[in-house]
Amino acid sequence: MKITFSNASPYVRKAMACAVARGIDGQLERWVIPATDPAISEFNPLNKVPTLVTDNVGPLFDSPVICEYLDTIGTAAPMFPASGPARWNALRLQALGDGIMDASQPRRREIGLPQDEGRIAYIELQKGKVARALAALEKEVSSFGKLTHIGEITVGCALGYLDFRFANEPWRPGHPKLTAWYDEVVKLPALAQTMPSA
């Protein structure tokens, strides 16, 4: 298998964290290529990272799909619960973590552009989404495990992205329970071995 790779992408990190958690990261060849490179479009018409080129089902993309595919490989406990409330909770947390990343990536880009009224409003809208997501996570983090499912892995990657790209806007103040949880799980292999870099 081959995965388009970027050290800075939180979505690539999420896929790699899942691979590490399942003990199959050695089966992934890292294809280091800019997301803008047209070579990616041969496998992904959206020209995005991550894209996973598999040996049996063809290319797969977006991180939720890639992670669910990786969950079918190896013998580790599943990251995606099979059914019932546990599955919906894991998927909901995955959506919340992905939402933090979805709001943060474009906000970072917009901050570097000339600021007009519309752009300032957009930046504040995205910032508000992250603030509300962090508040929601703080309320329920006491029920979290140690990266036991896809939702927790995604939230861990999202918090790591905030540290990486928004260090000047620390998220920890006001979120002591979430901070304590993250400070524990960031030491686990899935996150420790996939730390982002510029």
Residue 148, Cβ neighbours under 10 Å: how many?
A: 17
Taking Cα atoms as reference points, which of 152, 151, 136 lies closest to residue 186? 152
Looking at residue 191, its pLDDT comes to 98
Please write the tens of the pLDDT for every residue from 5-23.
999 999 999 999 999 999 9
Q: State residue 148 phi and psi, 5-degree precision.
A: -85, -15
Q: Provide the pLDDT for residue 37.
A: 85
DSSP letter for each residue of 22-70: HT-GGGPEEEE--TT-GGGGGT-TT--S-EEE-SSS-EEESHHHHHHHH
What is the per-residue pLDDT across 61-77, written as a single tens digit (0 to 9) for each? 999 999 999 999 999 99
State yes or no: pLDDT of 88 exceeds 90: yes
**CA dist., res. 17 & res. 28, Å (int):** 12
Distance CA 27, CA 52 (A): 12
Residue 91 reports pLDDT greater than 90: yes
Beta-carbon count within 10 A of 92 CB: 11
pLDDT in tens, 118-174: 999 999 999 999 999 999 999 999 999 999 999 999 999 999 999 999 999 999 999
- pLDDT given at position 149: 98
Q: How many CB atoms lie within 10 A of CB 84?
A: 8
Give per-residue burial for 20-33: e unless 16+ CB within 10 Å, then b. bbbebbeebeebee
Do you know the residue count of the chain? 198
Amino acid residing at 116: D
Q: What is the pLDDT of residue 122?
A: 92
pLDDT tens digit sequence for 19-55: 999 999 999 999 998 777 888 999 999 988 999 999 8
pLDDT for the residue 137: 98
DSSP state of 56: S
Contact 24, 51 (CB under 8 A): no
Q: Contact 100/130 with Cβ under 8 angstroms?
A: yes
